[in-house]
Structure 1
Amino acid sequence: MGRSVATLDVVYRHRLGHGEDPRHGAMARGWSVQRALCATQREDGLELTLLVTPLEDEPHPAQQRLRPHAVRDAQVRQRPAAYAIALCDSAVLATEFSGKTGVPGQWGLPGGGIEPGEDPADTVVREAWEEAGQRLESPVLIDVQSDHWVGHAPNGVLEDFHAVRLIYAARCPDPGTAVVHDVGGTTSAARWVPLEDWHTVSWTRGARALLHRHLESCVSGLALDAHCRTDS
């Protein structure tokens, strides 16, 4: 759903197609996305609200990624998930991917799949506790990512996979040493990374891009006042 910057009126609604980026959906309807406003779990699925302005140029159809004929038997899967740039006054929370993922040893943001009926903001609170033993408060939606690819999942299944990631900013009011509670899952370790050293970490490409885009504004906008322990 798109709301106009000028009036906050709803100017379009549409169901996100498999593999479709929400920004492309807006462009095809003559709108440019300024930022994500909120995400709510409805009876018929996840509702994402975006703040939009009219496109200056004529809208054009979003290009669809062509898929080879050989992968037409791939399992179609769309996965909505929620992640957090979780901060205290001196560090950002990071989680290491385990061997059950396609990027073992790389680091990302705490988060994961949205459970049926679960509010996405509650997802990041739950996942931060399961993956790092930290309690977050008042997550605020700041971005949405969409990725689409065909390939083999870690379990060997060939998937036509569409990842829709809601990105939140959140503060940890009482940070402590990070500990993984969901042992044996997709997270092998967790740590607080000092803000001045965040760029030295082996982040996934998506996590690094999000931190480049949002970390500075998150730090300045969350009025952080909690003291972190950055030992892992």
Structure 2
Amino acid sequence: MAEFVLAHGADPVRELASLGWSRPHLDDARRDDDGSLVLHFTVTPASAVAPTQAPVPTDPGLVLAPGEEASPYQRTAAYGVVTSARGVLLTELSELTSAPGRWTLPGGGLDPGEQPVAGLHREVWEESGQSVESVRLLEAHTSHWIGRAPSGRLEDFHAVRIVYAAWCPQPSDPVVHDVGGSTADVRWVPRDELERYHLSRSFAPHMRRWLAS
């Protein structure tokens, strides 16, 4: 058994590998009583893998003012691979994000004290007007980079994303309720048309596996 606090910028799978654990399977993701996020993995013993220290990437074209330093910021979010008889639900990132025009999964940051599954239901409704059921935990992913928030604040950004599979039993024409936020558009996409969409780098490498699971 291994228990540790995830440091800023760290990834739980890589941390487990450095402690001698492999084949991690995420069993549970929940808020503890003190508001902290707890991830529980089932693992297999293995040889420890020495962690590598790679430079933290920056947003393309980022310009820093003299002496400007990035403020650490960690964002925990829940996202859904939402499917229905109409296809896969995708949302388009707005101009307020660092990747406008790219398509991604419905979801977003958790409110203080909010459980991840509750956050998933809320975000899917706000970004598409859809209700989901049969929610199933898939994986947790992290990203770490330096860039600017929509406010202009320079951030050392650590994204922790909890990804679920979910089924929409009564799909309707999707509509963005959270107007003026990070979502510009939303639509049901037939599976055989997914390759036509410019998917977010955070999710594109994993979509085929998630949809097959």
TM-score computed with the length of structure 2 as normaliser: 0.90
Equivalent residue in structure 1 for 2:192, among 192, 196, 201: 196
Runs of 4 or more above 6 Å deviation: none
SS at match of 2:208: helix
Structure 2 gap ranges (5+): 58-65
Letter in 2 for 1:180: V
Q: Tell me the residue number matched to 2:128.
A: 132
Letter in 2 for 1:22: P
SS at match of 1:100: coil
What are the equivalent positions in structure 2 for 1:91-102 lying under 5 Å apart?
Answer: 91-102=87-98
What are the equivalent positions in structure 2 for 1:137-148 lying under 5 Å apart?
Answer: 137-148=133-144
What are the equivalent positions in structure 2 for 1:154-173 lying under 5 Å apart?
Answer: 154-173=150-169
TM-score computed with the length of structure 1 as normaliser: 0.83
Aligned equivalents of 2:114 and 2:148: distance in 1?
A: 28
Q: Tell me the residue number matched to 1:63.
A: 52
Q: Tell me the residue number matched to 1:49.
A: 40
Aligned length: 204
Q: Tell me the residue number matched to 1:150.
A: 146
Aligned equivalents of 1:141 and 1:114: distance in 2?
A: 16
Inter-CA distance 66–207: structure 2 relative to 1 (3 Å threshold) = closer
SS at match of 1:183: coil
SS at match of 1:210: helix
Aligned equivalents of 1:24 and 1:72: distance in 2?
A: 30
What are the equivalent positions in structure 2 for 1:103-122 lying under 5 Å apart?
Answer: 103-122=99-118
SS at match of 2:75: strand
Equivalent residue in structure 1 for 2:81, among 78, 81, 85: 85
Structure 1 gap ranges (5+): 1-10, 218-232
Q: Deviations over 1:192-219 (max 9, x none)?
A: 00111111111112221221221122xx
